Amino acid sequence: MTAIFYILAGIMLAAACYVAVSRDIARAVFCFFGVLFAMAGLYIFALADFVAVTQILVYAGGVVVLMIFALMLTDKQLLENIRRGESSGPRLFRARALPSILLALAVFAVLLQVITAVDWGNMAWRHEAVAAGNRITGHENMVENVGVNLMTRYLLPFEVISVFLLAALIGAAYLARGRTNN
Amino acid sequence: MLLQSSASSYLPILIQGIMALAFVGITMVITHLVGPKRRTIDKLTPFESGISSVGNARSPFSIKYFLVAILFVLFDVEVIFMYPWAVNFRELGGKGMIEMFVFMGMLLLGFFYVIRKGALDWEK
């Protein structure tokens, strides 16, 4: 089981590195698909079944398709002109890439700091939750849990989501076809 | 212990995925190894329904395709919220049904807007 976790994490990191380094945007999008898929596997390890299903259905199935469509809308000539402007200088470490590398390193430093500074075994809220019996054992059906809570305790946010989706739907239709119609 | 009990229930899906990938890979490798190779100039030209290909494949597409993709993602998100409801369909009963219908009604409203707007009208 642990081996599968490391394989998934390895696939994800390798694909993510390729996305960051690749100069070909089409290949980067396909590798991004790999990142999202492997991430769904990691969500299962985190006992978040519903998030894993969402990840595959919405992100791997929908958002990547959206990205490919966005790629197809672009002009190849324009992309090549931008690429030609960037191609001066050494290949991997261009001066233009320096801010992004620094930012990535800064985020990594913060994460490292959190991992080393937090005493994972002795957090107060964890002891409180265990004492109150407010925890999952890993044998529950997590999707059922999400469903019951969504329909009772978090009903208002659930219905607000539908309004939010409605706004996105109208916005998309208006932006794409608004000016051609009355 | 805790981790194994839940993640291991997904093992069949993992095996199925590996089988599917392996089938594709093995089929490709075997046909490549077994099949005869006679490369002629005519065979190596790009084939486009018997017509010689014209122009570049990477020309900008119409925005209509993108709109269809966006609508697909939005309804995809709707379906993902139906999934936890459908799992508990019996327990939630009539009340859950009404709640879900309100949710779907909102999105249906948006769908009617899209239809009335003519956004899915392909000819225009």
Give the integer Cα–Cα distance in Å for B4 and A45: 8
**Does the pLDDT value for residue A30 go beyond 70?**
yes
Q: Could B88 and A65 be called an inter-chain contact, meaning their C-beta atoms sit closer than 8 Å?
A: no
Query: Rounded distance, CA A22 to CA A83, Å?
Result: 12
**Would you say the ipTM is above 0.90?**
no
Q: What is the CATH number of the domain that holds A53?
A: 1.20.120.1200
The nearest alpha carbon in chain A to B115 belongs to A173
* CB interface of B with A, residues 4-33, below 8 Å: 4-8, 10, 14
Does some domain include residue B88? yes
Domain with B15 in it: 8-44
Distance from B40 to chain A by nearest Cα, in Å? 30
pLDDT, tens digit, for every residue of A93-146? 566 678 888 999 999 999 999 989 888 877 888 888 888 877 777 677 778 888
Q: Touching check for B83 and chain A: CB below 8 Å? A: yes
For residue A40, the chain B residues in CB contact (below 8 A) are none
The answer to the question of residue A14 being in a domain is yes
Q: pTM value?
A: 0.75
On whether residue A92 sits in a domain, the answer given is: yes
- The chain-wide mean pLDDT, for chain B, equals 83
Residue B60 has its nearest CB partner, among A50, A74, A181, at A74
Taking the CA atoms of residue A110, residue A116, residue A117 and residue A122 in that order, the dihedral angle to the nearest 10 degrees is 130
Q: How far is A155 from chain B (nearest CA, A)?
A: 8
Q: Is the dihedral of CA B59, B60, B66, B68 positive or negative?
A: negative
pLDDT band for position A15 (cuts 50, 70, 90): very high
**B106 is a domain residue:** yes
Cα(B102)–Cα(B21) distance, integer angstroms: 41
Cβ-Cβ pairs closer than 8 A, A with B, add up to 157
In a domain, B112, yes or no: yes
Instruction: Report the distance separating Cα B37 and Cα B31, nearest Å.
Output: 11
Domain-located, residue B30 = yes
Does the beta-carbon distance from B56 to A76 stay under 8 Å?
Answer: yes
Q: Is B67 in the same domain as B28?
A: no
pLDDT at A174: 85
Q: Give domain status of residue A124, yes or no.
A: no
Overall size of chain A counted in residues: 182
pLDDT at A40 over 50: yes
d(CA A52, CA A91): 37
Residue A122 lies in a domain: no
**Are residues B78 and B39 part of one domain?**
no
Q: What is the pLDDT of residues A66-101, one digit of tens each?
A: 888 888 887 777 767 766 666 555 555 566 678 888
Residue B93 lies in a domain: yes
Domain-embedded: residue A103: no
Residue A118 lies in a domain: no
B92 neighbors A146 (Cβ within 8 angstroms)? no
* Same-domain status, B72 and B107: yes
Residue A43 lies in a domain: yes
B50 in a domain, yes or no?
no
* Together in a domain, B112 and B75: yes
**Count of domains forming chain A:** 1
Q: What is the pLDDT of residue B2?
A: 43
How many folded domains does chain B comprise? 2
Instruction: Confirm whether A113 is domain-assigned.
Output: no
* Domain limits for position A31: 2-97+139-177
Q: What is the pLDDT of residues A146-158, one digit of tens each?
A: 888 888 888 899 8
Q: Do A44 and B76 touch (CB under 8 A)?
A: no
Q: Rounded to an integer, what distance in angstroms lies between the CA atom of residue A32 and that of residue A11?
A: 11
